[in-house]
């Protein structure tokens, strides 16, 4: 096994052309690690199956797990043995594949991100994984695993330099463009806050899941069961006891999921520090797997300022720099990877972060074109119909439940209040060729992008809207689609014309 | 078949036929100097504008039905997230090729007028209008790039 010659930061080494490098044997760990999810899910699945059928099958599960592990390891060793890479003048070439040979020629200028990942299992060895993301499909990601940090950095440096040389033919280059300055760090309390607010959805989902799992199929059953068990003790406070039990289990599940989310936030963002240079942003983050994420500013497509209700209470926002996203089969993970999230940003820090990408200050101070009241009316009508239908269905299903319908009325009212806020928040403005869309319910979200980065733009209206001169507008950038409903048609027409002018008159590339 | 069904079914089919007709009637496209516009929709009317500058590749496609009627679809692909493929259906064969050619020419003209920065070695030229002279314009996603990578 020929180890790659790890002469650090010697760029000329790459130029000698024909040398193909193998990965260090340690990279087997990387390949095993990248499949751990298959392994754990098999084990979990088998375990679940087993517990429901027969407890004696534990040995079998253990055996299956071991077999799986051996299989994964053998595959990983094979993959390591078949992997070759070559760093050339303008590109990186990869040969890989066990059953299907794959040759890949990744051009430097097509590389969107070159990130250095420090997986926890490589840290004692002082090795890192270089992750190259191309601007193309997510499947064309390349991992060069188990190389020394110096080597990874020199490869990355080379990619950056190449890009700069190419760009410098078009524009003047500053000497200090490659220099990175520390811009922002996040402390542990920040991350705790982020964990509490950002995964709020999970908290709710977790709460619901807890609710469902603690609730047997029929409410009557649980009433019967619990009154049977605790009836003798709490003969009169039966319902109160039940309520207390329910609330307790709810708070418990919420607390557990919230703390899980806090832990998750700390694990992924620990030691978050953001460095800036004139044309890129770099983030260092992660507790176990330290990551160095590098983002070229020109590749940012849009900025999303996200604020959940809890964020609003705490006066924080999350700022997400978004790159090209591809909605393919692995859409979710691919999308998450292409974003750079700055967690728990204080309000006074928003402007300086935004200015990295757009010449604009905190959008909260801008004036937005509001959307028509008819949007609110429409939402009221649609949702009220849903509520009425549900109530009717419920009432006919179990006549005794008609009293439950009374409970639905405050719920309906609350929902209407939220719809009112939704309507109130929605808005659009175009400032200095920057499109800014406002949305949200309690927290306020903004999506900002320069008009010239638009890919296409659509104008939609229903027949009813046409009568009232209202239109929806749908902006598509390479990173996301944003729509604003029920704007005056004249506003939408003007916005579309203006954006098209920006796209068609500017020679600037969206990439 | 119950008498109600015998009545409702033809009515439904008639309604559907009317809708399909109205839908086809509403479909319209316009070609401007820098963009292509597509209008569609009966109850929800939609107008998409695709700037030619953002088109990554163009495709002519025809199914068996299209073939029978001598029709062709023009598809324009941009980097806007999925779904945003811009399709003009039901074009004459010649008309379709003309539109395709217009898009290609637009790209070529732009490549000539912009200062070609550096010739690209890896371009295969398999995608006819893959603009090879300006690195900025290279499609980041489908098509040409994948060809490069696979070579």
Beta strand pairing call for B71-78 and B55-61:
antiparallel
CA distance B96 to chain A (A): 21
* Residue of A318, A308, A306 whose CA lies nearest to A184: A318
Tell me how far apart the alpha carbons of residues A451 and A448 are, in angstroms, rounded to a whole number.
Answer: 9
Angle of CA points A440, A445, A448, to nearest 5°: 135
Residues in chain A with CB shorter than 8 Å from the CB of B44 are 460-462
Dump pLDDT digits (tens) for A104-145.
788 787 777 788 888 888 888 888 888 887 765 555 678 888
Torsion of CA B127, B133, B135, B139, to 10 degrees: -20
Longest alpha-carbon distance in chain B? 74
Dump pLDDT digits (tens) for A212-256.
444 434 445 545 555 555 555 544 556 677 777 778 878 887 787
Q: Does residue A44 or residue A363 have the better pLDDT?
A: A363
Neighbouring C-alpha atoms within 13 Å toward the C-beta of B80: 27
**CA dihedral sign, ordered A428, A432, A435, A440:** negative
In chain A, the residue whose alpha carbon lies closest to the alpha carbon of B141 is A136
Residues in chain A with CB shorter than 8 Å from the CB of B150 are 103-104
Using 50, 70 and 90 to split pLDDT, how confident is the model at A90? confident
In what order do the strands lie in the sheet containing A273-276? A142-148, A127-134, A111-118, A290-296, A280-285, A273-276, A181-185
CB contact under 8 A, B141 and A104: no
Q: Which pLDDT belongs to residue A106? A: 80
CA distance A136 to chain B (A): 4
Q: What is the mean pLDDT of residues B135-150?
A: 34
In chain A, the residue whose alpha carbon lies closest to the alpha carbon of B34 is A504
Residue from B49, B50, B110 to probe the interface with A (highest A Cβ count within 10 Å): B49
Dump pLDDT digits (tens) for A145-182.
888 888 888 888 888 777 777 666 555 445 455 577 88
Q: Which pLDDT belongs to residue B131? A: 31
Residue from A455, A466, A507 to probe the interface with B (highest B Cβ count within 10 Å): A455
Dump pLDDT digits (tens) for B45-86.
999 999 998 888 888 888 899 889 999 999 888 876 555 578
Residue matched to tokens 């060729």: A433
Tell me how far apart the alpha carbons of residues B68 and B71 are, in angstroms, rounded to a whole number.
Answer: 8
Contact between A192 and A262 under an 8 Å Cβ cutoff? The reply is: yes
Q: Judge whether residue B130 has pLDDT over 80.
A: no
Dump pLDDT digits (tens) for A193-204.
888 877 644 545
What pTM was computed for the model? 0.71
Contact between A306 and A318 under an 8 Å Cβ cutoff? The reply is: yes
Longest alpha-carbon distance in chain A? 87
* Residue of A440, A484, A436 whose CA lies nearest to A458: A484
Angle of CA points A301, A306, A309, to nearest 5°: 170
In chain A, the residue whose alpha carbon lies closest to the alpha carbon of B33 is A504
Dump pLDDT digits (tens) for A27-64.
888 888 777 666 666 666 666 665 555 556 667 777 77
Q: Which pLDDT belongs to residue A439? A: 93
Q: Judge whether residue A1 has pLDDT over 60.
A: no
Angle of CA points A467, A469, A470, to nearest 5°: 110
- CB-CB neighbours of B118 under 10 Å: 15
CA distance B39 to chain A (A): 9
Residue from B22, B47, B58, B130 to probe the interface with A (highest A Cβ count within 10 Å): B47
CB contact under 8 A, A456 and B148: no
CB contact under 8 A, A504 and B48: no
CA distances from B113 to A305, B103, B105 (A): 38, 16, 12
Residue matched to tokens 């990175």: A180
CA distance A367 to chain B (A): 27
Q: Judge whether residue A424 has pLDDT over 90.
A: yes
- CB-CB neighbours of A210 under 10 Å: 18
Using 50, 70 and 90 to split pLDDT, how confident is the model at B138? very low
CA distance B143 to chain A (A): 10
Residue matched to tokens 């799992």: A213
| Residue A181 backbone phi and psi in degrees, to 5 | -115, 140
Tell me how far apart the alpha carbons of residues A366 and A209 are, in angstroms, rounded to a whole number.
Answer: 40
The beta strands (E) that lie in A170-254 are given as: 181-185
Residue B84: is it exposed, middle or buried by C-beta count within 10 angstroms (0-12/13-18/19+)? buried
ipTM greater than cut 0.85: no
Q: Does residue A197 or residue B33 have the better pLDDT?
A: B33
């Amino acid at each position: 096994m020929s180890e790659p010659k790890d002469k650090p930061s010697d760029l000329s080494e790459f130029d000698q052309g024909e040398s193909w490098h193998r990965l260090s044997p340690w990279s087997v760990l990387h390949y095993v690690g990248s499949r751990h999810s298959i392994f754990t899910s098999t084990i979990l699945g088998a375990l679940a199956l087993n517990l429901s059928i027969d407890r004696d099958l534990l040995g079998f599960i253990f055996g299956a797990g071991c077999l799986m592990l051996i299989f994964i390891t053998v595959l990983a060793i094979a993959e390591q043995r078949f992997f070759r890479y070559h760093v050339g003048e303008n590109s990186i070439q990869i040969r890989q594949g066990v059953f299907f040979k794959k040759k890949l020629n990744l051009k430097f200028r097509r590389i969107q991100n070159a990130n250095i990942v420090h997986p926890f299992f490589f840290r004692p060895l002082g090795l890192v994984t270089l992750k190259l993301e191309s601007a193309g499909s997510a499947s064309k990601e390349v991992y060069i695993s188990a190389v020394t940090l110096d080597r990874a950095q020199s490869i990355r440096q080379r990619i950056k330099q190449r890009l700069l040389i190419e760009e410098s033919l078009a524009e003047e280059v500053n000497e200090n463009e490659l220099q990175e300055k520390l811009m922002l760090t996040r402390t542990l309390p920040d991350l705790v806050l982020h964990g509490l607010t950002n995964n709020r959805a999970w908290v709710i989902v977790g709460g619901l899941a807890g609710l469902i799992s603690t609730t047997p199929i029929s409410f009557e059953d649980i009433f019967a069961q619990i009154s049977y068990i605790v009836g003798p003790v709490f003969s009169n406070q039966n319902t109160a006891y039940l309520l207390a039990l329910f609330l307790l289990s709810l708070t418990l599940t919420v607390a557990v999921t919230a703390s899980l989310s806090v832990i998750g936030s700390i694990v992924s963002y620990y030691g978050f520090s953001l460095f800036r240079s004139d044309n890129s942003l770099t983030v260092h983050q992660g507790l176990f797997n330290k990551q160095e994420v590098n983002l070229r500013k020109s590749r940012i497509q849009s900025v999303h300022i996200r604020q959940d209700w809890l964020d609003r209470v705490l006066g924080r926002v999350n700022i997400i720099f978004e790159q090209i996203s591809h909605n393919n089969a692995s859409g979710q993970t691919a999308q998450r990877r292409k974003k750079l999230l700055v967690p728990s940003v204080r309000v006074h820090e928003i402007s300086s972060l935004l200015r990295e990408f757009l010449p604009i200050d905190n959008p909260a101070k801008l004036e937005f074109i509001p959307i028509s009241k008819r949007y609110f009316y429409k939402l009221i009508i649609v949702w009220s119909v849903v509520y009425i239908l549900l109530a009717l269905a419920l009432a006919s299903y179990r006549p005794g439940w008609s009293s439950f319908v009374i409970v639905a009325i405050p719920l309906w009212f609350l929902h209407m209040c939220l719809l009112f806020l939704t309507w109130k928040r929605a808005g659009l403005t175009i400032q200095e060729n920057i499109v800014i869309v406002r949305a949200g319910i309690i927290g306020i979200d903004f999506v900002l992008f320069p008009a010239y980065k638009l890919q296409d733009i659509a104008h939609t209206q229903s027949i009813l809207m046409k009568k009232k001169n209202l239109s929806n507008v749908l902006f598509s950038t390479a990173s996301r689609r944003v729509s604003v409903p029920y704007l005056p048609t004249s506003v939408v027409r003007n916005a579309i014309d203006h954006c098209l002018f920006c796209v068609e008159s500017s020679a600037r590339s969206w990439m | 078949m119950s008498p109600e069904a015998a009545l409702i079914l033809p009515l439904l089919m008639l309604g559907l036929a009317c809708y399909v007709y109205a839908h086809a009637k509403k479909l319209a496209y316009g070609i401007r100097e820098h963009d292509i516009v597509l209008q569609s929709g009966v109850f929800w009317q939609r107008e998409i504008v695709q700037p030619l500058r953002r088109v990554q590749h163009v495709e002519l496609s025809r199914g068996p039905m299209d073939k029978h009627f001598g029709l062709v679809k023009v598809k324009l692909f941009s980097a806007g997230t999925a779904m945003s493929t811009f399709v003009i259906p039901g074009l004459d064969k010649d008309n379709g090729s003309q539109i395709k050619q217009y898009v290609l020419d637009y790209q070529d003209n732009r490549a000539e007028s912009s200062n070609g920065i550096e010739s690209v070695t890896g371009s295969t030229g398999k995608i006819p209008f893959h603009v090879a002279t300006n690195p900025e314009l290279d499609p980041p996603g489908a098509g040409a790039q994948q060809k490069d990578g696979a070579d």
